[in-house]
Amino acid sequence: MHYLFEPGLLSSGPVRTALIVGTVVAITSGVIGVFTVLRGQSFAGHSLADVATTGGAGAFLVGINQFWGFLAAGIAAAALMEAIGVQRRRGRDVATGVVLGAALGAAALFLYLGTLHTATTGASFTVLFGSIFVVSPDTVPALAASGVIALLVTAVLSRTLLLTSVSPDLARARGVNVRLVGIAYLGALAVSVSLAAVAIGAVLSTALLIGPSATALRVTKSPARAMAVSALTGLAVTWLGIVLAYDSYYWPPRGHGWPVSFFVVVLVLAAYLLSYARPRRRLAPRSPHEEEGCEPVSALVAPEV
Amino acid sequence: MFTGLMLNTWVAASVVAVIAGMTGFFAVLRGSTFAAHAIPNGAFAGAAGASLLGINVIWGLAVFAVGGALGIGALGTEGRGRKARHDVVTALTLVVMLGLGALFVSVSSQYAEKTYSLLFGEVFGVSRGEVLPILGLGVAAGLAIGVAFRPLMLTGAVPEVAEARGVSTRRAELYFLIVMALATSMTVPVVGALLMFSLMIGPAAAARSVTARPGTALALSVLIALATVWLSIALSYETNWPLGFFVGTIGAFFYLTGLGARTFGGDRIRSA
């Protein structure tokens, strides 16, 4: 056993907290990420994470827990993106980008002001890259509750969400308020991204959001199964990442652990590349016009990613 | 404000603005906004790696930026139903580079200020030695775009027509990503990884929403980028606040102004 786990892994308090937080994050990101990939909103997901850094930096400046900063900024940005984002994909990307740029500028300002007042320099690194080993046990209930709420919203909306993801026009014809569903979904996404930001850092939370879900959607076409596979992949990746980071304390340079985020990212990439090894099946002949906007109804299976 | 070291700053930042305005125009036209975000952002990791090895950060930036462009281009642009997969591959390429960056920064046990300035820019630290390579790379990127102007326009605006005429969309995309990567590696030390992106997207999006003519939009995009940078430097010099803050905010302001002009000016402005 000790070849794999260095001694004292499970008796360490921070590691236990990290495992619990990692589990919540992996499941939430895994399930919600499937919709993010299906809806082609990888950029929005990543931007929400980056915008969350603004909130994290602001929270650092005010002196409250980073998670609340992440959450507030994430939800505000989600609302803003949906408000100015036009429905066409290209326009939406540009609107997302402009919101992102402005928010990053504000993050720079907050971090700068923060260092002026407190003379600590490690803050920007923690905000951007996170450290799951320093999550305080007190915040765990809040983190878990947020994760459960986001998952519940997604579960309640799941059928409508699938329909609006795969064919917005069909959903509109059936009387679904596509816009409202979009906002609710972005809200859940913001919560999940904030959770991941606490665990592996805002900049890298995209890894847990997109990686496992993209892998799952390459392996299976059924959305429900994809969510399960994605959550499991996320779990495996996170746990393994935590264990490796714990072990790495004994690797060179000695006495200095490697960051969890690094291991998580590498494992996520490995999982995604592995999914290429599996032979692909085509369920239905594909139309040459299936790119944005004019999907045939027969495309009611998950698009290939 | 215009003496000694500050002169280097003005020159370097102006070159950066011209290049960002040009590449940004194509990034917005081609819908490569996410790639425009991912390449500079990921290149930051290369800079961290280079300073770990003790070599000039420009080399680290260039290697990571071009590597990222190849990763996005190679995995992301094949097959049909491209957009969703393209985004996924872009996201994964980005996080892999950032993960490496996190490792480099943590192992090198350097001061966080270095990270901060690479992410958010340190335009007031440009030395004379840095100005020349920036100028050189700037001219190279400008030439690269000038040479391929027509195929880039064609594949960006009407990909189907381009394919029918035998212009490979995929090759054009890869070419563009590499040019953007080169442009990035010289701009990151100046405006910072996170805000290189604002400088590319804000001005270009504002220009595109005011005029539909490619030539006019390109020129306007460069002009707005220049105005953004100059204003930001002056304000940052006066207030001592980070340059990135001003670049991001002014870029967003121009974009919103452009949107407003289109909304209220209607077709008159767009067809002008």
Task: Write out pLDDT tens, residues B176-229.
Answer: 888 888 887 777 777 677 678 888 888 998 888 888 788 888 999 999 999 998
- Over 80: is that where the pLDDT of A192 sits? yes
Cβ of residue B98 closer than 8 Å to a chain A Cβ: yes
DSSP secondary structure string, chain B?
Answer: --STHHHHHHHHHHHHHHHHHHHHHHHHHHT-HHHHHHHHHHHHHHHHHHHHHTS-HHHHHHHHHHHHHHHHHHHHSSSSSHHHHHHHHHHHHHHHHHHHHHHHHHHHT--HHHHHHHHH--GGG--HHHHHHHHHHHHHHHHHHHHTHHHHHHHHH-HHHHHHTT--HHHHHHHHHHHHHHHHHHHHHHH-HHHHHHHHHHHHHHHHHH---HHHHHHHHHHHHHHHHHHHHHHHHHH---HHHHHHHHHHHHHHHHHHHHHHHTHHHHH-
Binned at pLDDT 50, 70 and 90, residue A10 comes out as: low
> Is there a contact between A124 and B91 if contact means CB atoms under 8 Å apart?
no
Of A47, A269, A303, the CB nearest to B81: A303
> Is there a contact between A42 and B91 if contact means CB atoms under 8 Å apart?
yes
Q: B202 to each of A55, B159, B206, B207, how far by Cα in Å? A: 22, 24, 6, 9
Three-class DSSP labels, chain A: CCCCCCCCCCCCHHHHHHHHHHHHHHHHHHHHHHHHHHCCCHHHHHHHHHHHHHHHHHHHHHCCCHHHHHHHHHHHHHHHHHHHCCCCHHHHHHHHHHHHHHHHHHHHHHHHHHHHHHCCCCHHHHHHHCCHHHCCHHHHHHHHHHHHHHHHHHHHHHHHHHHHHHCHHHHHHCCCCHHHHHHHHHHHHHHHHHHHHHHHCCCCHHHHHHHHHHHHHHHCCCHHHHHHHHHHHHHHHHHHHHHHHHHHHHCCCCCCCCCHHHHHHHHHHHHHHHHCCCCCCCCCCCCCCCCCCCCCHHHCCCCCC
Q: Residue A255: what pLDDT?
A: 60
pLDDT over 70, % of chain A: 75
Q: Residue A31: what pLDDT?
A: 92
Neighbours of B238 (CB within 10 A): 9
Q: Residue A279: what pLDDT?
A: 60
> Is there a contact between A264 and B83 if contact means CB atoms under 8 Å apart?
no
First-residue to last-residue Cα distance in chain B: 38
CB-based burial label for B128 (10 Å; 0-12, 13-18, 19+): exposed
Taking 50 as the pLDDT cut, the residues of chain B under it are: 79-80, 269-272
Cβ of residue A102 closer than 8 Å to a chain B Cβ: yes
In angstroms, the separation between the Cα of residue B131 and the nearest Cα of chain A is: 24
A162-188: average pLDDT: 83
Domain ranges of chain B: 5-271
- Looking at chain B from residue 184 to 223, which residues have their Cβ under 8 Å from any Cβ of chain A? 192, 194-195, 197-198, 201-202, 205
Lowest mean pLDDT of A78-82, A102-106, B126-130, B203-207, name the range: B126-130
Each residue's pLDDT tens digit, A148-174: 998 998 888 888 888 888 787 888 888
Lowest mean pLDDT of A25-39, A77-91, A273-287, name the range: A273-287
Q: Residue B112: what pLDDT?
A: 54
In angstroms, the separation between the Cα of residue B216 and the nearest Cα of chain A is: 19
CA distance A301 to A38: 10
Closest alpha carbon to A39 in A298, A276, A280, A295: A295
CATH topology assigned to domain A13-276: ABC transporter involved in vitamin B12 uptake, BtuC (1.10.3470)
Of B82, B99, B255, the CB nearest to A265: B99
CATH number of B5-271: 1.10.3470.10
CA distance A53 to A194: 9
Each residue's pLDDT tens digit, A267-298: 998 998 888 776 655 555 455 544 444 444 44
In angstroms, the separation between the Cα of residue A201 and the nearest Cα of chain B is: 10
Cβ of residue A275 closer than 8 Å to a chain B Cβ: no
Q: Are B146 and B93 in contact (CB under 8 A)?
A: no
> Is there a contact between A125 and B36 if contact means CB atoms under 8 Å apart?
no
Q: Residue A89: what pLDDT?
A: 58
Q: Residue A298: what pLDDT?
A: 42
Each residue's pLDDT tens digit, A203-241: 678 888 999 999 998 888 888 899 999 999 999 998 898
A28-44: average pLDDT: 88
Q: Residue A234: what pLDDT?
A: 92
CA distance B147 to B136: 17
Q: Residue A304: what pLDDT?
A: 53
Specify the pTM: 0.81
